Chains A and B, each alone.
Chain A
């Protein structure tokens, strides 16, 4: 079974600085998707970024980028120019590409605080 591990329960960053959140996963599959979701205090789950395992190029979305290391099974999220609104729980998630109905497997999350 696949597992997702986020080893940093909490992280803190100064406004305008850069922070990296770590995620590792375990799978025997070669084709899959990886995601980062943001959960603000409202508890809504908001998609931040996604990565297809077959793509070597790291995904980027504005201030958010990932460092995808397939061999190491690592998928970290980098937030540049951190803003107060980035404060939230961040969840890393895995989805198998086998079939079309795969559910998401989540890590336990990292709580990010942004200091003004």
Chain B
């Protein structure tokens, strides 16, 4: 299976602090997705990103969230002022083929714990 990487694997932060989660999608792909999974619940879509712009976002993705592509290969998800309810697994996902976008492969996830 194609590899998507994420760092850190686990992040612990205090409520109100900013966190930045990082992802490296499958090589050269322009499409990119962030999902969230609160413990014991289903995986929920946050935002999709195409060619340096947000293409879709869910109602979960409010003003405290932002996504960026700081360089050619890395993507980041920033949460500006974390809340207790932001504790979750955060997954990035990427299609594997440049011109075939129907199947998404997930990174290993970042477990965010907000205290």
Which A residues contact B (CB, under 8 angstroms)?
A: 33, 35, 37, 42-47, 50, 52, 91, 93, 95, 97, 100-101, 103-109
Contact = CB atoms under 8 A, between A and B. Distances in A.
A109 B40 CA distance: 9
Interface string B87-115: 00101010000000111111011010000
Contacts of B1: 46-47
Contacts of A109: 42
B50 A101 contact: yes
B45 A104 contact: yes
Interface of B: 1, 31, 33, 35, 37, 41-45, 48, 50, 55-56, 58, 89, 91, 93, 101-106, 108-109, 111
Given A101-B55, A101-B101, A104-B104, A45 B91 contact: yes
A91 B109 contact: no
B42 A44 contact: no
A105 B58 CA distance: 11
Nearest to B35: A104
Nearest to B49: A101
Contacts of A43: 37, 89, 108-109, 111
A91 B37 CA distance: 12
Nearest to A109: B42
A101 B56 contact: yes
A101 B32 CA distance: 9
